[in-house]
Amino acid sequence: MRSPSVVGSERDELGLVVVEEAQRLSALVDNLLDLSRLQAGAAEPRRDWCSLEEVVRTAVSDVAADDGAGFALFFDRDLPLVQANAAQLERVFVNLLENARRHSGGHPVKVRARVVGGRMSIRVIDRGPGMSATQLRRAFEPFYRDPTSDAHPGAGLGLAIVRGFVEANGGRVHAESRPGHGTVFAIELPLAEQTTSAAIVERS
């Protein structure tokens, strides 16, 4: 870029590449740090009451550069608050949304949230190529990537971090998929007993 032979338009293009690669490297470092903390047991969440809807909308704004285009959000009315670390949950949904968008084939990624059986249920749904049984079994392993595809480069850390942060906040996560039918990542988070009771009364 500093070479006198590089003209203005080329310098702008090279500068854009530098910025994009720096952002990619920064995200990789963040993921490595998150995974290291989780594996060392040093990611104990500082839980507080937070709005799941606000967490998801913030994650969408982090992922989407164009006002949430490409994502369709569906939240039940009057969702109760969850007691969790909002920053860790945001990282969970940023990773899931980025992953779903990469594989969605241009279709909108759907996010649905509601209370089911006394727990907060959130589903991130894409209409991509789906996952094989092997991919489903190994999806949350650190550094695992599908060896048959180079279409979506990555370090294989995002889903491992998703599982680590969800479980650190008392929840659970799993994937559902069939080849050719898209993929669903389903998260369940615990609700406080009094919150659950209030939600049941409200719906009765």
Which of these, 19, 48, 43, lies nearest to 33 by C-alpha position?
Answer: 43
CATH number of 46-203: 3.30.565.10
| pLDDT for 201 | 46
Amino acid found at 200: I
The separation between the first and the last C-alpha atoms of the chain, rounded to the nearest angstrom, is: 66
List pLDDT tens digits, range 105-152: 788 999 999 999 999 999 999 998 888 888 888 888 887 676 655 555
Amino acid found at 5: S
* 201 Cβ contact partners less than 8 Å away, ≥ 6 residues apart: none
List pLDDT tens digits, range 30-69: 766 666 677 767 667 788 999 999 999 999 998 876 555 6
Amino acid found at 152: H
